[in-house]
Amino acid sequence: MSQVVTTSSAERGLSERHVRILDAAERVFARAGFHAATMNDIAMEAGMSPGNLYRYFSSKDAIIAGMSERDRMEIAADFAQLDPSKGRLLDQLDELGRQHMVRKPREKAIIALQIWAEASRTPAMAQICAGFDETVEQGLGAAVEAAKQSGELPSNLDQARFLLALFMMADGFFCRRAVDPNFDAAAGAEALFAAMRGLAQTMLLPPAGGQTS
């Protein structure tokens, strides 16, 4: 598969200052957590005055929303690059997954875990998570459907259960990477994508009129 879309592609439309602030906020949030971090901390990390920071983002919540939207745009762009003409779609999904799960810094996983925790009690954060999940589900669903149409995957693959399993495995991966500084992300991804390939051949719909095994 060709190199996936870079972050700069997803950042098209963001000013240099917005990008600098979002990058700084990721570092601060990963170190201190959402609640302990302050706008002053983020301004200092970004190399600007607090007053200047507030010109771009009105609050920490606005910054978190901006970070999440930037990541959502990036992964949407990556899914848009998947194409059966470039090779096997499972290989392309494997590469895309490694790009986001292994090559991205561990801080991304730490921040994801913080957002999920906030989403359990904050409707605005839950909405952010739902929007991100919808983008991933649509991208994965389209890729899996194309692979079924091309014969790469079984036509009777239980797509809903397959995607649910992938979501749960990926969530577990991010949790493990966030909480364990010694976690081997490359080995974890190898295991996850081997499981993906195995499930893709065995998680099948029951025959018409038959019983689920």
- Band (pLDDT 50/70/90 cuts) for residue 213 is very low
List the one residue out of 167, 10, 163, 142 whose CA is nearest residue 84. Answer: 142
Q: How many CB atoms lie within 10 A of CB 38?
A: 13
What is the pTM (predicted TM-score) of this model? Answer: 0.86
The C-alpha torsion from 23 through 29 and 31 to 33, rounded to 10°, is 180
CA pair distance 141, 39, nearest whole angstrom: 38
> What's residue 102's pLDDT?
97
pLDDT the model gives residue 12: 52
Residue 57 DSSP class: -
How far apart (Å, rounded) are the C-alpha atoms in residues 141 and 49?
44
70 near 52, Cβ under 8 Å?
no
Residue 8 has pLDDT above 50, yes or no: no
For residue range 75-129, what is the model confidence (pLDDT) as tens digits?
999 999 999 999 999 999 999 999 999 999 999 999 999 999 999 999 999 999 9
